[in-house]
Amino acid sequence: MADRVANPVLPSSGVLSPLGLDAVRLLPGFWGDRVALNREVTIAHCREWEEREGWIGNFRGERPRRGREFSDSEIYKLLEAMAWAEHPDLPALAETVAQAQEGDGYLNTRWSGSRYTDFEWGHELYCYGHLIQAGVARLRMHGEDQLTRVAIRAADHVCRRFMDGAETCGHPVIEMALVELYRATGAERYLEMARRFVERRGLPALADIPFGRAYYQDDLPVRQAQVFRGHVVRALYLASGVVDVAVETGDEELLKAVESQWERTVARRTHLTGGMGSRHADESYGEDHELPPDRAYNETCASIASIMLSHRLLLATGDARYADLAERTLYNMLATGVALDGRSFFYANPLQVRVPAQPLDGVNHAAEGGLRSPWFDVSCCPNNIARTLASVAAYLATSSSAGVQIHHHTPADIRHGDLALRVETAYPWSGEVRVRVLEAGAGGVSLRVPSWAAGATLSYEPAPGTAASRESRPVEPGYASIERRWRPGDEIRLDLPMTPRWTYPGRRADALRGCVAVERGPLVYCAESVGDEPPLADVSAVTDAPPVEHHTDGTGGTGGAVELEIEAVHSPPGDYDAWPYTTERESGGGTRAPLRLIPYHRWGNRGPATMRVWLPAAE
């Protein structure tokens, strides 16, 4: 058995090395509060719904089988969440799962009688992928037990059945799961199996379908692709697995291929929030520059997959741009996907909602945006949020020979070797980040300066009573480092300028033409209208004055927040009962009044609402 560092991703090489969850302990704050809510509320909520919907009963052999063909995977994602959260319900749920495993390691409640008859839509390997990820989490947090044995037996079955041949799964995830199991156990067959799954794809390995083979990235080999395409979650899970294979096999060409696909995708197929996916029909990217705010799909799971991928690329390269996108996605997508109560979720995350959706108490049969729901027919997102929040500390900090890197600024205790640090900050509300030395040690401490933070300063404040003098210097976006022998009480202070900024879309983003958005720090803002608040359909933003900040108190369970106010033109409604295309441009005139903006991740918490991130710029 190999490592016991408790982190979902532990590459054996790369520029940066992850720290374990035991080395990064979240404290109350933006992420610490969410992780606590996840552990206390969301995990139990998911368990309850999976029982109610019969998806757990499927493992007990209850008939008729219930749920979609991939519902087993939801239980595995929940098990992974429980593993990271050291949740006491794990062993009992793992026991239930174990009952359904067959003698040769096969495990699937849907296809047991007709194994491997539908690689395009069957999701059998996909389900194993999530099972193996749960097993790895358990192995790293706890050590061998029933769940890890079930996962390893399944992985061995996969290797025996699929090592030779040309088959793969319509939904990737097995690739990264197998590499991680290799990393956790040292057994090379898992890496080899993952490598083969990656190389088989696009030869092609799967049948053509109405969506086209690009839907499941089987249109061309991953080395030849120029951009992420097709179903977003599939594309990003695959790319994550490809990075893992590339890193473990030293395949630089493969790594570069993913880096360049990432670059083009981020430049042309990514919404302001970091969300990806512009088409509902096939949950896919759409084309370059196709970025509709109203029909943005931006599946919550896709944002999680994007964070997973960016994190892997960050570890491999140390390039801050990957942490920049991860931050954008963490604060504007992951934090948006779950309501402040921890019990209702967004599946799709549009940037504009014209008609308020009615909240549901029961299952939401659709995956439309604008509607936080307790559960879905396809309920990937709640469980994916649960496992991601349970392990989110894994993304915050890394180490290298140069010392410790802090990528995301949130209250936490971080330990690396002898050095113990405490991060204190009200980020993202405040741009002041203090890193205090709790226990002495040597080496560099690097803090990420986000790409939007031009004008940041980094200061060193020596512990009271020491000879060293205070230092302060401007720092550029990227990483700002101080290396020294640290003493308890020493403090590093990063000051990030948090002035709200107007943000404009690129010219080719046709759906955003003539619009402007507001950002502050890592947060995207939006206007929201609930009940009889002024409607948003005829509002435009006046950009000649800067947005004004309003610091609000801590109602809502996640501490204080910063809201913004801008000047807006409220135009009188036009004649919307006549043919709307005319030889005269409709005037944008109207009355001026302030418009309140809230962080995008907080929208949809006050009841049925309309919302928009992109506001027409007043003429």
Show the tokens assigned to 74: 């939801």
Q: Which is nearer to its own copies, 153 or 321 (CB)?
A: 321
Q: Tell me whether residue 116 or residue 504 sits nearer to its own copies (CB atom).
A: 504
Q: Which is nearer to its own copies, 467 or 545 (CB)?
A: 545
Q: How far is the CB of 603 from its own copies (least distance, A)?
A: 18
- Contacting residues for 582 by C-beta, under 8 A, at least 6 apart: none
- Smallest gap from residue 353 Cβ to its own copies (A): 9
Catalytic residue among 301, 380, 515, 526: 380
Instruction: Give yes or no: 380 in active site.
Output: yes
Min CB(503)–its own copies separation in Å:
5
User: What is the smallest separation between the CB atom of 262 and its own copies, expressed in angstroms?
Assistant: 11
Q: How far is the CB of 366 from its own copies (least distance, A)?
A: 5
- Residue 317 is inside which H or E element, if any? helix 300-317
Q: What angle do CA 472, 478, 479 make, to 5 degrees?
A: 55
Q: Of the listed 53, 74, 180, 283, which one is catalytic?
A: 283
Using CA atoms, how far apart are residues 265 and 247, in angstroms rounded to an integer? 21
CB of 614 to its own copies, least distance (A): 8
Q: How far is the CB of 448 from its own copies (least distance, A)?
A: 16
Closest CB 538 distance from its own copies, rounded Å: 7
Min dist. Cβ of residue 297 to its own copies (A)? 10
Query: What φ, ψ does residue 149 adopt, rounded to 5°?
Result: -65, -40
The Cα–Cα gap between 345 and 20 comes to: 28
At residue 269, the 3 state secondary structure works out as coil
Instruction: Dump strand ranges (E) for 297-394.
Output: 352-353, 363-364, 375-376
d(CA 300, CA 332): 10
- In this structure, are residues 337 and 330 in contact, taking their beta carbons and an 8 Å threshold? no
For its own copies, the closer of residues 472 and 582 by Cβ is 582
Question: Is 169 labeled as catalytic in the residue annotation?
Answer: no
Say whether 434 sits in a helix, a strand or coil: strand
Smallest distance from its own copies to CB 586, Å: 4
Q: Left, alpha or beta for 565 (phi > 0: left; psi -120 to 50: alpha)?
A: beta
Residue 318: left if φ>0, alpha if ψ -120 to 50, beta else—which one?
Answer: left
68: its two tokens: 């979609």
Pick from 459, 455, 438, 429: nearest CA to 447: 459
Query: Cis before residue 608, ω within 30 degrees of 0?
Result: no
- What phi and psi values does residue 247 have, to the nearest 5 degrees? -65, -45
3-class secondary-structure state, position 289: coil
Half-sphere exposure of 577 (CA within 13 A, CB side): 0
SS (H, E, C) 167-214: CCCCCCCHHHHHHHHHHHHCCHHHHHHHHHHHHHCCCCCCCCCCCCHH
Comparison of 383 and 571: residue with beta carbon closer to its own copies:
571
Name the site residues for its own copies (rule: CB under 8 A): 208-212, 263-264, 266-268, 272, 279-281, 286-290, 292-295, 352, 354-355, 365-366, 377, 451, 501-511, 513-515, 517, 537-538, 571, 574-586, 588, 616
CB 568 within 8 A of CB 540: yes
- Residue with tokens 């999701």, as numbered in its chain: 123
**Would you say 288 or 549 has its CB closer to its own copies?**
288
Contact 45, 57 (CB under 8 A): no
Place of tokens 């996840």: 38
- The secondary structure of 340-355 as a DSSP string is TTSS-B-SS--SEESS
Q: 464 or 572, CB closer to its own copies?
A: 572
Q: Which of 61, 50, 125 minimizes the C-alpha distance to 89?
A: 50
Residue (149 or 268) nearer to its own copies, CB: 268
471 contacts 428 by C-beta, under 8 angstroms = no
Complex with its own copies: residue 214 or 335, whichever CB lies closer:
214
In the bound state with its own copies, the residue whose beta carbon lies nearer, of 253 and 577, is 577
Task: Report the candidate in 275, 274, 326 with the shortest Cα–Cα distance to residue 299.
Answer: 275
Active site residues: 283, 380
